[in-house]
Structure 1
Amino acid sequence: MTVEPEHDLSRIIGRAVDRAPQAPGDYSTQILAHSRRRRARTQALLAAAAVVLVVGGGAVAVRGVVGGEPPVAATPTSEAMPSPMMTTPAPIAQVWPEAVHTIPMKLPNSRKGRPLTLIDDRTLLLETWQSFEKADALYAYNLKTDQTRKITDIRTPKGVFASGYVVGGGKIVWQTIDNMRTSFWSVPLSGGQPTAVETDAPVEGRGDGLVVAGDKIAFSLHEGGVFTLPLEGGAVTPVQGAERHHILQWPWVGTPGEYTPDKGPSFEEILNVETGETSKALVRPDEESVRCGVTTCAGRRLGHNSFYRLRDGSRERDLPQSTMGLAYDRFMTVDLAPTGGQTLLDLATGRSGDLGLRPDAKGQVSIIQPGLNPYNRLIAYELKGQYVIIDLAKIR
């Protein structure tokens, strides 16, 4: 069955939300960006990339964030999308106070905690590092009380990194990649020692998508293919019809995946593995870097401006200059001229908030690109010695 988004949009979103993994706070969303070096090592783990671009003569650090829970069922409308912003909007904490938190960068033990994902509406999952990007412990941070609780220690061999953290079934699950094989690990949310999630055969390939779906782990590989595995361990089962696919927003999977060569489209074709529904997004020959979610796509016309529209091509609108990617199926970041900062733009309502980032004395500024993983819920970034935490699920 082929889905026509303009006629069936609410049903698509409703089913996606109903069938999405019920992880507390979900796999959920966006974590503080991981670096390009890690991305090269893992070839597209759910950890996002950090790259350096040159904008206006200055180096601009692009920091991605990951995670994911189904987005709020809000449909962008042509009326919602504003004209390119000419003035600076209010700070994001004033625009969406219910969605924004600030927390210290250091834990009570003086170690720097790095936001990973949301465990639930009030609890943030943090990691500390043994060395550059090599995790040594996980912590839970209560956003309401500012209390911190250690969950577990993490130990990995030299050259092997824990990544792709997700939450569900009362556990935290993550993956490691070693010699082109992916392994899975878990620990109870209450704490304890990590245990390997045993598989009936080695998982050959590099994991790039991971969720907890009920009593199963669902994962996809960078090389293509979607699989399930009992949360307690057991047989790895290929998902029928998804041999080339990658996880988009469970139970939606698609092809090509997020990482495409030559600025090609991502998730142009998607499949609901529970219902068999499919959707193919409109992509025109003169467009590049088209990134699609379950309902919405955003991209750039060659030599021209950016745009967003629904997957079938309807409700298309031009965008101000923006970073590529689409978070939670409705959010983008937009360059803020002339200050050199950024705003977070909600395509569903047209509202925007200033992220507060500005160039330093050398003209460098951290740029948040929330769409590197398209179903992220959490955005986290450093600002003035603190972390700013944005829960996209709280934006209505």
Structure 2
Amino acid sequence: MNNDLEADLARVIGRAAERAPQAPSDLPARVVSRSRRRRSRTLAAATAVAVVVVAGGVALSVRGLQGAPDVAVHPATPTATTPGLVEQVWPDAVWKIPAKLREGGRKLRPVIFIDDRTLLLETWASHEKADALYAYELDTGRTRKITDIRTPKGVFASAFTAGAGRIFWQTIEDTRTRLWSVPITGGEPAPLPTDAPIRKGADKLVVTGDRLAFSAFQGGGVFTVPLDGGAVTPVKNAVEHHILTWPWVGMPGDYTPDNEPSFKELYNVETGEMSLALVRPGDEYVRCGVTTCVGVGAGGKPFVRLRDGSQERELPDTAMHGLSMDRFMTVSLPTRGQALLDLVTGKSGDLGLRPDAKGAMTSVQPGIRNDRLVWYELKGRLVIIDLARIAGR
């Protein structure tokens, strides 16, 4: 990555999400690039989770959390010194785990947190085509196979979520979306029967009580279905909305091809509360969470502020777009590395990433879907960060 590219990284990442091609996708975090064809094909390719950009490609990680913190917007600006390593700053929230299965040596890729101590991993049959799911216990380091996933050529499992003792996901074949589940303890995947075909792929799935909620990538709309299958029911007053973090849904979603402010309008499907984010003339690449928005102001300076426009602060020019759990983003360091920045406490932690001999470097960006999982590969290991632990949830 050369200096010019590094300086422009914030805008490049923001535009990537806006201009991602329409198509099915997964991974509760998304952005599109040439190397992320499955996510675009499977729909979630233009939504948030932790986005990992590698020399023009993207990879990401995911899991939405409910609720959002009261945000005091006083961001640190780590531009003169390099902070401590992320595992030193937040030792209870960072793990380094094997990047490959012990038996067979197949590469593992993090998907979501199943719970506070268990990570869902997948292996691929081919590029981004999941063929098996595993549970990794962070306390013991034990890896346990949950199930095999078998899909036809060109069909991908995507939009994984966990709840009620099960893992749920979708597949999209032609114009039909099917919902699947498997017990976390293991077993054979089973489709959820529905009263009518689902013709819109989901950009996010979430378990809420005894129902599975999802929002449609193309055109929006929020729906629920019983966890064991049944009637697909539209959520009232959410016909064009996308799930941000349940029970908050909003519009537009992450995919904003004309540079519209993402999640400018929010609606709480449980309480009826509504929120309209303030967007100033000249603002660009605005991405809003439940309480907080980031973007680039009319003067070309990155900013962070609350949704009502208060507590606005300039961010470092090296700030990367994206905002997870209304408080986490990444910034570039003088070392040409990157740090995870907590806008609430002002603390930051060096991710340990550096350019290789050719100047290429993995770049990590948390996404606005309040995703708690950030991951990347470093020196043959997977670095796992649980943002919920940093936030005290």
Same fold, TM-score > 0.5, yes or no: yes
Provide the rounded CA distance (Å) in 1 between the counterparts of 2:350 and 2:171. 36
Match of 1:85 in 2: 79
Aligned to 2:3: none
**Percent of aligned positions that are identical:** 60
Q: Tell me: CA distance 1:52–1:70, structure 2 relative to 1, closer, same or farther (3 Å).
A: closer
- Bigger shift: residues 260-269 or 92-101: 260-269
Rate the CA distance shift 1:273–1:121 in 2: closer, same or farther, 3 A.
Answer: same
SS of the counterpart of 2:206? strand
Which residue of the partner structure matches residue 236 of structure 1?
232
Q: For residues 300 and 117 of structure 1, what CA distance do their matches in structure 2 show? A: 30
Distance 1:392 1:137 in 2: 26
Distance 2:102 2:281 in 1: 54
The match for 2:339 among 335, 343, 347 is 343
After superposition, give the CA deviation of every residue in 1:234-286 in whole Å (9 maximum; x if it has no partner): 00000010000000111110000011013221000000011110000011121
Which residue in 2 is equivalent to 1:352? 348
Most deviating of 295-304 and 379-388: 295-304
- 1:94 aligns to what SS in structure 2? helix
In structure 1, the partner of 2:98 is 104
Residue 41 of structure 1 pairs with residue 47 of structure 2 = no
Contact 2:36 2:59 in 1 (8 A): no
Sort the Cα spacing of 1:118 and 1:36 in 2 relative to 1 into closer, same or farther, 3 A: same
Alignment partners' CA distance in 2, 1:344 and 1:384: 19
Q: CA deviation at 1:49?
A: 9.1
Q: Which residue of 254, 264, 271 maps to 1:268?
A: 264
Q: CA 1:141/1:83 → structure 2, altered by over 3 Å: closer, same or farther?
A: closer
Secondary structure of 2:171's aligned partner? strand
* Structure 1 CA distance for aligned equivalents of residues 48 and 29 of structure 2: 10
Q: How does 1:284-363 map to 2 (within 5 A)?
A: 284-302=280-298, 304-320=300-316, 321-337=318-334, 339-363=335-359
SS in 2 for 1:36: helix
Contact 1:288 1:301 in 2 (8 A): yes
CA-CA distance at 1:200 after TM superposition: 0.5
1:84–1:369 distance in 2 versus 1, CA, 3 Å: same
**2:28 and 2:388 mapped to 1: Cα distance?**
9
- Alpha-carbon distance in structure 2 between the residues aligned to 1:33 and 1:99: 28
State the distance in 1 between where 2:31 and 2:277 align.
29
SS in structure 1 at match of 2:87: helix
Whether the 8 Å contact between 2:261 and 2:286 is mirrored in structure 1 is yes
Distance 2:281 2:205 in 1: 32
SS in 1 for 2:92: helix
Q: 2:29–2:50: 8 Å Cα contact kept in structure 1?
A: no
What amino acid is aligned across from residue 325 of structure 1 in structure 2? G
The alpha carbon displacement at 1:198 in A equals 0.8
Q: Give the Cα–Cα distance (whole angstroms) in 2 for the partners of residues 169 and 319 of structure 1.
A: 40
| Residue segments in structure 2 that go unaligned for 5+ positions in a row | 1-25
Structural RMSD (CA): 2.3
Structure 1 residue 204: Cα displacement:
1.1
* One-letter amino acid matched to 2:385: I
TM-score between both structures, scaled by the size of structure 1: 0.86
Q: Distance in 2 between matches of 1:240 and 1:299?
A: 30
Classify the secondary structure of the residue corresponding to 1:289: strand
Matching of residues 124-203 of structure 1 within 5 Å = 124-203=119-198
1:349 partner SS: coil
Offset, 1:115: 0.6
Distance across 2 between alignment mates of 1:145 and 1:229? 35
Residues 1:279 and 2:281 aligned together: no
Asked if the contact 1:299–1:306 (Cα under 8 Å) also holds between the matched residues in 2, the reply is yes
Q: 1:10 is matched with which residue? A: none
Query: Would you say how many aligned residue pairs link Structure 1 and Structure 2?
Result: 361
Q: 1:233 to 1:47 in 2, by over 3 A?
A: farther
Note if contact 2:76-2:341 (Cα within 8 Å) is conserved in structure 1: no
Q: Contact 2:28/2:159 (CA < 8 Å) preserved in 1?
A: no
Are residues 47 and 316 of structure 1, via their aligned partners in 2, closer, same or farther at CA, if it must alter by over 3 Å?
A: closer
Contact 1:346 1:352 in 2 (8 A): yes
- List structure 1 segments (4+ residues) > 4 angstroms apart after TM superposition: 27-35, 45-53, 59-62
Between 1:301-310 and 1:121-130, the stretch displaced more is 301-310
Deviation per residue, 1:321-350 (Å, 9 max, x gap): 22211111210011112x211110101111
For 1:60 and 1:335, the matched residues in 2 are separated by 17
Cα deviations across residues 162-216 of structure 1 (Å, max 9, x unaligned)? 0111000110000111113221100001110000011100111121111010110
CA distance in 2, matches of 1:91, 1:30: 24
Cα contact 2:277–2:309 (8 A) shared by 1: yes
What amino acid is aligned across from residue 329 of structure 1 in structure 2?
D
Report if aligned partners of 2:161, 2:167 keep a CA contact under 8 Å in 1: yes
Cα separation, 1, equivalents of 2:70 and 2:386? 18
Deviates more, 1:261-270 or 1:300-309: 300-309
Structure 2 counterpart of 1:314, one-letter code: S
What do residues 98-154 of structure 1 show as CA deviations (whole Å, max 9, x unaligned)? 000000101121221111111111111101111111111111111111111111010
- Distance apart, 1:375 and its partner CA: 1.4
- TM-score normalised over the length of structure 2: 0.87
Alignment of 1:188-227 (within 5 A): 188-223=183-218, 224-227=220-223
Unaligned runs of 5+ in 1: 1-26, 54-58
Q: Distance in 2 between matches of 1:134 and 1:359?
A: 28
Kindly state the Cα deviation for residue 89 of structure 1 after the two structures are TM-superposed.
0.6
Whole-angstrom CA distance in 2 between matches of 1:63 and 1:301: 28
Q: What secondary structure, in the 3-state scheme, does the structure 2 residue paired with 1:166 have?
A: strand
